[in-house]
Chain A
Amino acid sequence: EDKVVQSPLSLVVHEGDTVTLNCSYEVTNFRSLLWYKQEKKAPTFLFMLTSSGIEKKSGRLSSILDKKELSSILNITATQTGDSAIYLCAVGSNFGNEKLTFGTGTRLTIIP
């Protein structure tokens, strides 16, 4: 059974701090790893990492895929209160058909 594990489950930091969120996976026929940010409503897409694109950066957010360690990290520098959210990791795999397996998420709280 495919599995995606995120850590920590929750994290509280002060504004301006740097945080690192972790995602590890065990899936059959890995295709991609996606990061989503979920505030009160819809998960919104942040990054997609694949074998051909193992590093992505957008502003203060960056992510790296380590295919050898079967894991990924999401870094957020100079955190702001607007970064408070649940960060979801999802792994795409193909075993007969394409599917996404989601982790349980990391709840990040930024204290002003």
Chain B
Amino acid sequence: NAGVTQTPKFRILKIGQSMTLQCTQDMNHNYMYWYRQDPGMGLKLIYYSVGAGITDKGEVPNGYNVSRSTTEDFPLRLELAAPSQTSVYFCASSYSGQTFNQPQHFGDGTRLSIL
């Protein structure tokens, strides 16, 4: 059981480039999330999805886009990369969105540097 899988693990981008961070889960979870983790800061929610075809903004959505065409996949798109987007990105999933009921399960993260 692979759980939540993120690719790539590391990436260096130039300012203004774009890329897609991939996330897939094999637990048949309805809810999926994208977080970023900056040094000395807690994880911040970028976007989340409650099911295929449904996405919503989190706390820090600017500069990112998402889509959810299947239950398994939840890619995160960076358009016009900026140095402020240098961070570690985590994808997570949970069966339900109720925080008192089901913990979120995390992927190993993607370390992204924008130079």
A interface residues (Cβ-Cβ under 8 A, vs B)? 4, 31-32, 34, 36, 41-45, 48, 50, 88, 90, 92-94, 97-105
Contacts and interface: CB of A to CB of B under 8 A. Distances in A.
Interface of B: 4, 35, 40-45, 56, 58, 90, 97-100, 103-109
Contacts of B35: 102
Given A42-B90, A42-B106, A42-B108, A88 B43 contact: yes
B106 A100 contact: no
Nearest to A103: B42
A45 B103 contact: yes
Instruction: State the 7 A-B residue pairs at the shortest beta-carbon distance, nearest first.
Output: A92-B99, A102-B42, A41-B108, A32-B100, A42-B106, A31-B100, A102-B43
Given A42-B4, A42-B106, A43-B106, A104 B99 contact: no
B40 A93 contact: no
A93 B45 CA distance: 14
B109 A41 contact: yes
B54 to A, nearest CB: 12
A31 B98 CA distance: 8
Nearest to B106: A42
15 contacts: A4-B42, A32-B99, A42-B4, A42-B108, A42-B109, A43-B43, A43-B90, A44-B106, A50-B100, A88-B42, A93-B99, A94-B99, A100-B104, A102-B35, A105-B42
Given A32-B100, A42-B90, A105-B42, 10 more contacts: A4-B42, A41-B109, A42-B106, A42-B108, A43-B90, A48-B100, A90-B43, A98-B97, A99-B58, A100-B99
B108 to A, nearest CB: 4
A45 B41 CA distance: 19
A90 B109 CA distance: 18
A99 B45 contact: yes
A63 B43 CA distance: 21
B45 A100 contact: yes
Given A42-B4, A88-B43, A104-B41, A98 B106 contact: no
Contacts of A41: 108-109
